[in-house]
C-alpha cells in the first residue's frame, strides 16, 4: 500500500515502506503477533538509518508499532526521530474498551470485522481471499488486543496525529491523548472519512505529512 506513495512525495523525502513478517515481500515468513519481534526486525533492517532525520508514520496497528519503534530508537540507539505521525490509532496508554476478539471462531471473528467501516467486502465473500487475509487480520488484531503499555519514556519530537471524523473505533479524545507522549508540540488533523481514509483519502494524508515536516508538497 505505502510503496505507491513514492510517486506522490517530493524528491527530498525517501520512502521506506516496512514489510512485516507474513506480509508483502515477506509473505512466506511466519506471522507474529508479538510487538517486540516486529520492533527488533525493524531495528535490524532500518536501525542503521537512525542518524538520518527519520519521520515515522503508522496507521491503525502501525501507530503502536511506530510509537514503540520511535521509543526503541531513542532508548537503544540514543537518537531521536524527527517527527511521529500516528494515524487512526488510540494513544497507547488508554485501557482497552472492546471485547477480545482475536480468539473467536473464524465466522465470529469475521462478523466482528464486518462491523468495521471499510474493510473490503471481497475478503468476506471470497474463500480464497479469506484464506489469505484471515490469518493476517487475526494476527494484527491479537497484537493490538494483547498490547500492554510499559514505561514512561517521552519522545522529544513533534507528534502530528491524524484521524477520521467517522471512525467509530478511534474517537477524538483517544487521538488527543497522544500529547502525553512527547515533550514537544502535538497537533491533530481530522479527515472527513472512516477508519480506512489512508486508502480513500491517501493524497490528503500525504499532504498533511509533507506540510508538517516542511517539505514542498507536490499535490
Residue showing cell 472519512:
193
Distance (Å, rounded) from C-alpha 150 to C-alpha 67? 12
Task: Identify the CA nearest to 38 among candidates 139, 145, 156.
Answer: 139
> Per the structure block, which three cell numbers stand in for 216?
514542498
Q: Are 161 and 175 in contact (CB under 8 A)?
A: yes
What stretches of the chain show up as alpha helix (H) in DSSP? 35-46, 61-77, 106-113, 121-125, 127-146, 172-176, 197-200, 202-213
Give the largest CA-CA distance in the chain.
48
pTM: 0.92
Q: What is the pLDDT along the chain (219 residues), one digit of tens a residue?
A: 787 898 899 888 989 989 999 988 898 999 999 999 999 999 988 767 767 899 999 999 999 999 999 999 999 989 999 999 999 999 999 987 778 899 999 889 888 887 766 577 777 788 888 889 999 999 999 999 999 998 778 999 999 999 999 998 899 999 999 999 999 999 999 999 999 999 999 999 999 999 999 875 554
Sheet holding 83-87, edge to edge: 55-59, 83-87, 159-164, 186-191
Pairing of strands 159-164, 55-59: unpaired
Give the model's pLDDT for residue 216.
56
Distance (Å, rounded) from C-alpha 202 to C-alpha 196? 9
> Per the structure block, which three cell numbers stand in for 166?
467517522
Amino acid at each position: 500500500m505505502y510503496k505507491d506513495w513514492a510517486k506522490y512525495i517530493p524528491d527530498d523525502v525517501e520512502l521506506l515502506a516496512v514489510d512485516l513478517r507474513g506480509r508483502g515481500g515477506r509473505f512466506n515468513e511466519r506471522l507474529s503477533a508479538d510487538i517486540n519481534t516486529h520492533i527488533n526486525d525493524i531495528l535490524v533492517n532500518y536501525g542503521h538509518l537512525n542518524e538520518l532525520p527519520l519521520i515515522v508514520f503508522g496507521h491503525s496497528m502501525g501507530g503502536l508499532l511506530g510509537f514503540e519503534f520511535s521509543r526503541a530508537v531513542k532508548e537503544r540507539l540514543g537518537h531521536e526521530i524527527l517527527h511521529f505521525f500516528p494515524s487512526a490509532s488510540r494513544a497507547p496508554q488508554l485501557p482497552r474498551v472492546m471485547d477480545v476478539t482475536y480468539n473467536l471462531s473464524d465466522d465470529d471473528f469475521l462478523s466482528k470485522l464486518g462491523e468495521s467501516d471499510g474493510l473490503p467486502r471481497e475478503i468476506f465473500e471470497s474463500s480464497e481471499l479469506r484464506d489469505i487475509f484471515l490469518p493476517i487480520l487475526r494476527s494484527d488484531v491479537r497484537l493490538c488486543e494483547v498490547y500492554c503499555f510499559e514505561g514512561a519514556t517521552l519522545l522529544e519530537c513533534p507528534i502530528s496525529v491524524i484521524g477520521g471524523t467517522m471512525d467509530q473505533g478511534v474517537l477524538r479524545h483517544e487521538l488527543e491523548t497522544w500529547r502525553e507522549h512527547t515533550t514537544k508540540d502535538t497537533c491533530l488533523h481530522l479527515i472527513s472519512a472512516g477508519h480506512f481514509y489512508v486508502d480513500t483519502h491517501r493524497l490528503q494524508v500525504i499532504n498533511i505529512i509533507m506540510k508538517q515536516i516542511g517539505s514542498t508538497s507536490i499535490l
